[in-house]
Amino acid sequence: MLAALIDIGLMLGWALLMGVGQALAAMLGLPIRFGPFGYNLFSLALVVLPVTIAFTVLEAGRYEATPGKLKLGLRVRSDPWGDRLTWPRSLARNLLKLGLPWTLAQSAALALVSDPALDAIAGAAFAAIVPLAYLVSLFMGDGRTIYDWITGTQVITTAAGRRFAAPAPEPDLEPASEPDLEPAPEPDLESAPASNQQSVGIGHDEVNAVPDVRADDSPTETGLGVGRRVQSS
């Protein structure tokens, strides 16, 4: 917002300078006599056209910014990749941003002064709607104005103390690689450690080395087969 006000102030200053030049020409005996339409074209040629061309060159050139944006550390790039503006794109942006509103406002003002009829009032209302729509669009969506949406441009910020915008990073269009998941190895149950086999063997020998106990040494229940002790041969 402040950057736009600075640029508009510079444009108004240029318009005032052209007005002073016309006044000096009239004082020197060189009056410029035009009708309303001719005066409108003459004023557009002296004010709107030079300022639009100047801002086009600045935004598409090395600094990528108008004086107001350069003061606040802002740059104009294309959307969405952030490339440097081409000359046609920069010209279209500044024609919509400055050329169209200024031309409509100046034509409406001249119409109201020369013939304040109903159509002149309607033209003045339409001329006021355009900058108002630009202003409202700043507070909607991602904060880009209507002329930025139309021309495919965006305003970016730079680091403090930086004169030029950093080059935009190239987009990474390669798909993300899937992680390589290897199956876990199955346990080998056939090759058991020798120490385990040895411990199992020792336990088996100890079980077989139980001393023989005769059947008459301890009484037991007969005919059940439970807890029955047998004689080893």
Mean pLDDT for all residues in the chain = 75
pLDDT digits (tens, 9 = 90+) for 89-136: 999 999 999 889 988 888 888 888 887 888 888 888 888 999 999 999
CB neighbour list of residue 78: distance below 8 Å, 6 or more residues apart:
84, 85, 86, 89, 152, 153, 154
Between residues 1 and 183, which one has the greater pLDDT?
1
User: Model confidence at 50, in pLDDT bands (50, 70, 90)?
Assistant: very high
Q: pLDDT tens for residues 184-226? A: 666 655 554 544 444 444 444 444 444 444 444 444 443 333 3
The share of the chain scoring above pLDDT 70, in percent, equals: 66
- Alpha-carbon gap, residue 42 to 30, rounded angstroms: 15
Give the pLDDT of residue 93: 95
SS3 54: helix
